[in-house]
Amino acid sequence: MKKILAIAVMAAAMLTSCVKNEIVSPAGEINFKDFMVSTKALVLPGETAVANLPTTYTFGAFALYTGTYEGVTGETAPDAIYVNDLEVAYKTSYWGFAAQPMYWPTNKADKLDFYAYFPYNATVADWDDVNNCVKLTAADLGTTLGDQTDWMIAAKEVGRNSDNGQVPVAFRHITSMLVFNAYDATPDTRYQNLVTIKKIEVKQAAYTGDYTNNAWTADGASRADVVVYDDATGVDVPLTTPANVTTATSGALIVVPEDVQAATTLVVTYDIAESADHVYEAATGKTVEIAVNGLNGTWEAGKKYVYTIKFDLVNGANEHLQEIIFEQPTVLPWVEEVVGEYDNI
């Protein structure tokens, strides 16, 4: 039994109690700083600046005693759990435990280590007492773009008591993000501005896995073909400078970090307009499939991978114009014609 937890969650009537180690007050409530996330979450995947976690979200938190503590029945235990995966929410002016306030141990020598994860999910998150960290079991990212679960973990805050004030929480992304750019590198101006991308699909990317001790194990059976862009009108491929093919909210895909599988490919569907000189005829629904592990072998946690699709209708492997060329010209010799002599000049 924990030293203070059992009595800290009782009704306000117990505030008048005089029993040792049972005296609590609202000033002793555990709460968290509002500077929450080390990079913006999937809400704005194109951003890289530090930002606050939106106040409409919640996260989960664990707290452990830093060392051996004395329980109310006299037993001792190392690193015992003080707060076991409770939800934290924004409460008008501060972040605190959602269901009821949680309070610091009245003995300030009983310091706490804090661990947090986002988003709160009691059926997925648990405490890994072997590796002393938060673990996620069968964590599902989902495959609906713009509505995926952006799992994040905060670095532990160690050795804290009520004198330290609010508990800092800085989340870091633990999934991998994929975004897609494109540009037209065709050197001949006659064949520029002909390409329109209609669809981009990532095949066989993992969206479910287990996370513990700072590492993922992807569920090999949980893979999906995910369309990250699909539009009948399409998007014209810009010249020279790579540009985002899709919008920030619909064009970013998060996946379970892993060694990129051979079956994971990128399929691009595009149209080509007819060129003014009629060398290129109009063509629709052309596709190219690219093995992702040929570009990079590993998706690492917390990294955003920007894949740039380069079109070159003159020199590209998928579209290659055959230039009309000539053999070395030769010059035939003059044919000599003898026409006679002029006499007596």
Q: What DSSP string describes 253-292?
A: EEE--EEPPTT-EEEEEEEEPPPTTSSSPPEEEEEEEEEG
The residues, any chain, with a CB within 8 Å of residue 139's CB and separated by 6 or more, are 124, 149, 151, 208, 209, 210, 211
Looking at the domain covering 33-173, what would its CATH class be?
mainly beta
Per-residue pLDDT at 342 exceeds 50: yes
Ranked by mean pLDDT, which of 53-57, 211-215, 325-329 comes out on top?
A: 211-215
Higher pLDDT pick, 104 / 38:
104
Domain ranges within the chain, ordered by starting residue: 33-173, 176-311
Per-residue pLDDT at 11 exceeds 60: no
Q: What is the pLDDT of residue 260?
A: 93
Higher pLDDT pick, 16 / 34:
34
Fold match flag (33-173 vs 176-311): yes
CATH topology of domain 176-311: Immunoglobulin-like (2.60.40)
